[in-house]
Copies of this chain bind each other. A is one copy, B any other.
Amino acid sequence: MATGREIAQLCGVSVATVSRVFNQPETVNEETRERVLRVAKELDYRPNESARALSTKQSTMIGLVWDTDHRRPGWRHPYLQDLLIGLKSALSAHGYHLLMLATSGDAREVGASLADPVGYVNMTRRHHLGGLVLIDSGSDAEAFEAFAQSGVPCVALDVAVDGPRATYVTSDNEGGALSAVRHLVGLGHSRIATITGPPGNQPSEARVSGYRKALREAGVEPRDEYVVAGDFYRASGTAATHRLLALDEPPTAVFAASDEMAVGALLAARAAGLRVPQDLALVGFDDIEIASVVDPALTTVAQDKPGFGVAAAKTIMAMITGAGREEPVVLPTQLVVRDSCGAR
């Protein structure tokens, strides 16, 4: 790897000039500029990032806080891959890399864990990171608040945080739920239940809220026994459905706050000898791959998966460039009608 000094010597200029050629090209004479550029190209010169970061106190890296561990298998994000594709490629367009921060995995205190957001914040300073993207890996919501307060630019995904340089991106969960339940209402259902995500989870609560709103809109009073808590996973969908079906007046339709739970509900219905959608209509949320492959194919509320990552990238870049904070971004959702709701 060629260094700036080598270029300088070959061109008969000082290192300062070489540096200027790349950082303030307009301040250097055209002729020497071209000479430097030509030599630089020949030697395939790239400024050393460590040196540059040390000197300028900023790098071209964004930190990703995603607290997972293969030894304690936990929360699986419904569409992490698409999100990452969007995030990474939008960041790339700005010349930024994505640094997946190490969590303190073992005795050697290497980093941080969400129990200690300070560790991450320090890490962003140590590496001169431009900012942080926070992916909720279960129940990190409270911890995220600490990040938001720290003053480092950060954008959280699906967790509403607020801070001097912090904001978030999320889907229009309420709107999505609203349109899902409206759809069910439109199909003639009035005994509509919902299976929620874990208590405290914000998207889940917004979905419940949309559910309620749609019912009221239709003039049906939400019943408490029709709102049963799940945890986004399949098994909880099955369990919840069993409970719902055991009610004196069981629902004729179920809106599940995740596709996984909707699949669980499907299994429960099948086990109970009910046909979907004839005996029980089903709508999910997320539009993960499974949704289209299950039988009957799941009607569901689709989220803009790569758009999530792209929005996060745009927002964090805006916060790095500008000085303040950005407005939260709410991505539109879209109802995808398939077979499980009985519309076809």
Residues of chain A from 92 to 118 with CB closer than 8 A to chain B in the complex: 92-106, 108, 110-111, 118
Which B-chain residue is minimally distant from A127 (CB atoms)?
Answer: B49
Given contacts A93-B106, A127-B50, contact A88 B100 (CB under 8 A): yes
Determine whether A80 belongs to the interface, using a CB cutoff of 8 Å to chain B.
Answer: yes
Determine whether A323 belongs to the interface, using a CB cutoff of 8 Å to chain B.
Answer: no
In angstroms, Cα B49 to Cα A59, docked, is 11
> Closest approach, in angstroms, between the C-beta of A124 and any C-beta of chain B?
10
Is B99 within 8 A of A97, CB to CB?
yes
9-residue interface stretch from A64-72, A154-162, A314-322, A332-340: A64-72
Given contacts A104-B92, A290-B289, A290-B293, contact A69 B85 (CB under 8 A): yes
Contact residues in B for A54 (Cβ distance below 8 Å): 48, 50-51, 54
Contact residues in B for A44 (Cβ distance below 8 Å): 118, 122
* Chain A interface SS verdict (over half): mixed
Determine whether A90 belongs to the interface, using a CB cutoff of 8 Å to chain B.
Answer: yes
Determine whether A150 belongs to the interface, using a CB cutoff of 8 Å to chain B.
Answer: no
The residue that A81 contacts in the complex, of B77, B104, B110, with Cβ under 8 A, is B77
Is B68 within 8 A of A126, CB to CB?
no
13 further interface pairs, Cβ-Cβ under 8 Å (given A46-B122, A68-B89)? A44-B122, A46-B125, A48-B54, A50-B126, A50-B127, A60-B102, A68-B88, A73-B306, A88-B102, A92-B103, A92-B106, A289-B289, A295-B295
